[in-house]
Structure 1
């Protein structure tokens, strides 16, 4: 479950206690609640999602409320493509009116004003906000709300914007300034841009902001009289700042930063430090500022009252802990600590009904380039750097050219319809916008190759 999902649904279930076990009334009958214990609390789950009503002090006596999410539909992708070629705000409004799916917010602007359009299906008028799962997707005519906002420049469909206006900030989860910096770094290489240059930028895995970190890290490594510190400096010295799966430097850098954040905040914020490490890109610019200034009280360990720790002492511990993790998980040789060894994912294939196919096409880990802040993005959802979300399709278009590229990393299982070894991840092919509802980004690759 992810709070960053396309949209959320609140589902209300009636409950019954049977032999001191709580059951909820699912669409297929009463089922026992699932439980998951973490270091902080016990979370209860339904088939729809976690029980959000447990978070409130005053709970329902004979019912629970679960929160579910709905992933983006192809209708939203189609509407975004159409809006990109709209000639006026009126055209955008008409496109938004045709959209059928979970409620979405479109932010657009013309020469004078910025607009926000809320479009999508709604619940029937006689339904409450808390609906049963079998009625949650019921829709009627798609309404839309058309509201004028202040006259600021707005960009839709992006998580990184330079100086976003309040109208855009309202619909942004956060502003990924690191990824914006990576994009500017790539754009600065070109005085004039061709289509091939756009393709290179879309698959760029360069992380230029590491330069500022490396100045600090290398200075601190110079103070450590151990061989592994000198070896780390060698890898950083040869690094071209790309987050490629075949390189060791990205692994060392990511592990050092994660361990440094862990050591810095673990004593002050013990219950939140795991989430801070997982989502550090949200406050990454502020953390870099703290490292540069070296004046923050966060660097002091509040559990050791007899002495005051500094940034340098925290770094020493973080570096050793980072090495220890990979020493146990990969092995003692740093040459083997390639980014793809930890930044990977095992993707389940769709043909899981056949035991023979499962055995013959057993899933294996797929290594990914990039990171959270590169233009070609791959996100890790855990503290062990395993990929949680990855870019599997890139496309660009203008009035005459419409091209898309599908990654081969959908699955490594040859028994799956979503397996292909013939399309390179940066191989762009023409797409037919008149058949945008059949875009091969939502089709099995084998079917796409036949077209």
Structure 2
């Protein structure tokens, strides 16, 4: 017994030592939110007041000092996130994670973002105000790197901290621009379908702009298989990324005529892949001549979302087609040449070096035409097939995106704001605007262009022919837009815009589901207030899905259903499209739609191409139309030569498969088939993939309401898995009321800090899941009185 007691005391002692070491490590590695620090090149003291949620309110006597402090405090909470984001475009992920990321590095290097960034920096006027403030921000980051604690992720990966440069800012923005694009998932796939199955198989895929969908209306007022290899490589590269992708968004701005107060109300919730840390870093900058409450991308000084007492702005994805693919014809007598409309030209060969963790450096080369990189041979693709090049507008011409971000974040009114927008050539953005003067506006912001009449940008085109060249670039005033329209609101849900320049602009627009619901709700009343808008931003009712059920259910033969199956169908037929966590019909609907798509399309496409097909936007656009179509070439199962299946066969079979799969996953009691058991959200950290560290780095999982393509857009993939695990959704929710701007509200999905030792790492997660908000404080006295800590930066004398 004494021996056991001694062993017990020894174990307790060891546990105590481990706990003590853990506490010491936490104290050493956590961010420092209070005290005094000395900072080089400051002109005067800077006070950083942290509110109860860790948001820094930075008070300085001039902007350069404010941005220098912003760089420091941003880095101490998000340096690991900054590091990953700046590495994507330059092929630097293999150095962190090893050879498994080599294909991703090769793919992103071939895009040419790093070269475009270097060119933009070389042409930058270092004396411009944007460059001066950006450099101050970088200096703040670098001071933290020199003197601050090393984030635990650097210690675990053995990665060395390195200073930040101007080119890192541009590389981060370049990754964001490509993350918005959809052509790489779509164009090669549609070309395969046309070439292997026939043009008739494209007819039902809803790939073109539609004259019948819910449009974003214009109003200007008075003036105020190499193809398969390309897709496979792209999917592999993007799926391996340890940083989130930008996928869509909601926003609406309600004019004074429709609000109870007679003042504008602004709402925005950008949809981005969920990750930990979450995408946005909030910061409130205050100087005698400048104030902005902004949302910052890691390593980017100017806020992409923001507001002050005069105006508010935000973005959604425009979803325009800004990437085109071309077949290239190589000279049979000289493989270093390719054919253009003006004759043979020499291919450019670009060579890069990729550092790989625990291995020798890898030399990587790719060929390039005047349009862009030839993707064959990149990321272990099939070689020897017809070469395909990619033409991406982001890497062409002058890159003034950072100037645009500076301009919109410093605009004092709608005219100054609008003047900055033409400087954004890519990514395509729906820019949303509202102000204290009562203006509401939406601009499709991108460098748009016209192609020849016979050109189809959703298919791989022919680089040797002149008709597929750009005819002209549109002037910004021709872009889709609405400024103070007579219906007294503007909105965007990544849906199709109205016609411009005599055409419906080609794009990869999402279905009208969210748009129809937003328009219906906004049109329903003229007494909006901030509370009602906050409720609306959480709306989880589909305006479309109950109609799909109606169309499908009438084809189900009740005689072939057992009692439970008939009961499920009856309940589903009465469903109002709600996606609360305790709703059972939602689970049945999505299982049914998955099997309906699988039964309809997989026999022709095969397993791999079907998987690629359901990763595109256009598959979402075709669900409702296919539910109403009586005849389609896709209904017949090509694997059964002696039988010609009908739509009725597909509907019946898919419903029964959905029922059986739910029964297997959730049990026999259909009352227990609740949405929250299947629809869960976990915020993954790259290091959280290691099982032992998952609970420390990851946040969640939680059952959550909402669904794909409702306003509360908690998106997931149809991949045959038993769970509908949420992969993307609101990266923040903001509601700004100009009748009471100091009480405007927001929320982050997890927390403000990316440091797992910070108390702000996950403190907003449960609030986010429950649909709660917190204040975006702007009143200095309130900020001072409620501050949880104060950090002061002082000049080095």
Residue 100 of structure 2: aligned partner: 34
Assess if the C-alpha contact under 8 Å between 2:88 and 2:108 holds in 1. Answer: no
Query: Cα RMSD (Å) of the superposition?
Result: 5.1
Pick aligned residue for 1:235 from 566, 571, 578: 571
Pairwise CA distance, 1:250 = 0.3
Counterpart check, 1:160 vs 2:494: yes
**Equivalent residue, structure 2, for 1:273:** 610
Q: TM-score, normalised by structure 2?
A: 0.40
Indicate conservation of the 8 Å contact 1:393/1:405, yes or no: yes
Q: Cα distance, 1:111 vs. partner?
A: 12
Partner of 1:310: 646
Q: Deviations over 1:157-192 (max 9, x none)?
A: 944346434589869642431110121233344243
CA contact (8 A) 1:93 1:117 kept: no
Q: CA deviation at 1:9?
A: 6.0
Cα shift readout 1:19-70 (whole Å, capped 9, x = no counterpart):
xxxxxx9657xx96328xxxxxxxx6356877879979999xxxxxx88778
Closer/same/farther in 2, CA of residues 356 and 315 from structure 1, 3 Å limit? closer
Check whether the contact 1:116–1:149 (CA below 8 A) recurs between aligned residues.
Answer: no
* Deviation, structure 1 residue 107: 5.7
TM-superposed CA distance for 1:423, in Å, is 4.0
Matched-pair contact (CA < 8 Å) for 2:496–2:509: no
The answer to whether the Cα contact below 8 Å between 1:154 and 1:164 also exists between their aligned partners in 2 is no
Cross-structure match for 1:419: 762
Question: What residue in structure 1 maps to residue 305 of structure 2?
Answer: 77
Report deviation, 1:361: 9.8
Counterpart-to-counterpart distance in 2, 1:103 and 1:216: 40
CA distance, structure 2, for counterparts of residue 239 and residue 216 of structure 1: 13
How far, CA to CA, are the matches of 1:310 and 1:58 in structure 2?
A: 32
Summarize the Cα distance change of 1:105–1:112 in structure 2 as closer, same or farther, 3 Å threshold: closer
CA distance in 2, matches of 1:310, 1:401: 58
Relative to structure 1, the CA distance from residue 78 to residue 379 in structure 2 (aligned partners, 3 Å threshold; closer, same or farther) is same
CA contact (8 A) 2:715 2:728 kept: yes
More relative contact order, 1 or 2 (CA 8 Å, 6+ apart): 2
Query: Is the CA contact (8 Å cut-off) linking 1:378 and 1:390 kept in structure 2?
Result: yes
Per-residue deviation, residues 110-148 of structure 1 (Å, max 9, x unmatched): 999968467xxxxxxxxxxxxxxxxxxxxxxxxxx9953
Partner secondary structure for residue 746 of structure 2: strand
Three-state SS of the structure 1 residue aligned to 2:733 is strand
2: CA distance between counterparts of 1:418 and 1:273?
Answer: 38
Following superposition, the deviation at residue 254 of structure 1 comes to 0.8
Indicate whether 1:404 and 2:732 are aligned.
no
With 285-294 and 413-422 compared, the bigger mean Cα shift is at 413-422
1:168-317 equivalences under 5 Å are 173-223=508-558, 224-270=560-606, 271-279=608-616, 282-317=618-653
Q: Does the 8 Å contact 2:497/2:504 carry over to 1?
A: no
Unmatched runs of 5 consecutive residues or more in structure 1: 1-5, 14-24, 36-43, 60-65, 119-144, 440-446
Counterparts of 1:258-407 in structure 2 under 5 Å?
Answer: 258-270=594-606, 271-279=608-616, 282-348=618-684, 364-383=700-719, 384=721, 385-402=724-741, 403-406=744-747
Aligned to 1:45: 103
Distance 1:70 1:166 in 2: 32
Partner residue, 1:93: 419
Q: Provide the rounded CA distance (Å) in 2 between the counterparts of 1:58 and 1:382.
A: 22
Secondary structure at the aligned position of 1:34 is classed as helix
Distance (whole Å) between structure 2 residues aligned to residue 105 and residue 8 of structure 1: 23
Partner in structure 1 of residue 451 of structure 2: none
Whole-Å separation in 2 of the counterparts to 1:297 and 1:416: 57
> So what's the TM-score if we normalise by structure 1?
0.65
Shift in Å, 1:248: 0.6
1:148: which partner in 2? Answer: 476
Deviation of the 1:293 alpha carbon: 2.7
Residues 349 and 428 (structure 1), Cα distance of their counterparts in 2 relative to 1, 3 Å cut: same
Structure 2 residue matching 1:324: 3-state secondary structure: helix
CA contact (8 A) 1:178 1:209 kept: yes
- Report the alpha carbon displacement of residue 267 of structure 1 after superposing the two structures with TM: 1.2
CA offsets, 1:252-307, max 9 Å, x none? 0011011101100111112322233344x634453423332311121111111212
For residues 278 and 330 of structure 1, do their structure 2 counterparts lie closer, same or farther at Cα, with a shift above 3 Å needed?
farther
Structure 2: give runs of 5+ residues left out of the alignment.
1-84, 112-224, 231-236, 246-278, 280-295, 298-302, 308-312, 315-407, 434-438, 448-472, 484-489, 791-797
Residues 175, 88 of structure 1: CA spacing in aligned structure 2 closer, same or farther, 3 A cutoff? same
Residue 315 of structure 1, CA deviation: 1.4
Preserved CA contact (<8 Å) 1:258 1:277? no
> Residue 112 and residue 448 in structure 1: after superposition, are their counterparts in 2 closer, same or farther (change >3 A)?
closer
8 Å contact kept, 2:556–2:648: no
Q: 1: CA distance between counterparts of 2:480 and 2:420?
A: 22
Check 1:70–1:300 CA distance in 2 against 1; reply closer, same or farther (3 A cut): closer
CA, structure 1 residues 420+310, in 2 after alignment: closer, same or farther (shift >3 Å)? same
Q: 1:84 and 1:106 mapped to 2: Cα distance?
A: 19
CA contact (8 A) 1:350 1:416 kept: no
**Aligned match of 2:775 in 430, 433, 436?**
430
Equivalent-residue separation in structure 2 for 1:181 and 1:305 (angstroms)? 41
Q: Deviations over 1:204-262 (max 9, x none)?
A: 00012122112123323453332232121232255332111211100000110111011
Q: 1:214 to 1:296 in 2, by over 3 A?
A: same
Based on CA coordinates, which of the two structures has the bigger radius of gyration? 2
Distance 1:357 1:229, change over 3 A: closer
